[in-house]
Amino acid sequence: MEPFCEACRANFERDPGFFLGSIYFNYGLTALLVAVFYPILLFSGWGSPNALLAGCLAFCLAFPLWFFRYARSLWLGFDLYMDPRGPAPHRGSAGE
């Protein structure tokens, strides 16, 4: 991961544990998608309840693994939006 954004120099290097907050985005979106699509698919007669349950279980295992990078990005963007910090300091510049 780059230490900062090339375009706006937003700092990507955060304290240990900072990105644990991305779990909120990852879990929240996973739960929201399953809560919305499971009843829709169930009542539309798309498949048997057991097949849908197995599909939802597979989705709940696979989707967060795929989405975790995007969840981290969303968490970082959320933090920068709620607590703007300005650009990262230049490394190797005079004064260090």
Q: Least separation, in Å, of the C-beta of 48 and Zn ion?
A: 47
Cβ neighbours around 72 below 10 Å, total = 19
Q: Least separation, in Å, of the C-beta of 4 and Zn ion?
A: 8
Q: Which of 13, 16, 7, 10 is nearest to 88 (CA)?
A: 10
* Complex with Zn ion: residue 11 or 68, whichever CB lies closer: 11
- Nearest residue to Zn ion, scored by beta-carbon proximity: 5
Q: Which of 2, 1, 5 is nearest to 85 (CA)?
A: 5
SS3 77: helix
* Complex with Zn ion: residue 63 or 73, whichever CB lies closer: 73
Q: Least separation, in Å, of the C-beta of 2 and Zn ion?
A: 10
Q: Least separation, in Å, of the C-beta of 21 and Zn ion?
A: 19
Which residue ranges make up the site for Zn ion (CB under 5 A)? 5, 7-8, 10
CB-based contact 11:4 (threshold 8 Å): yes
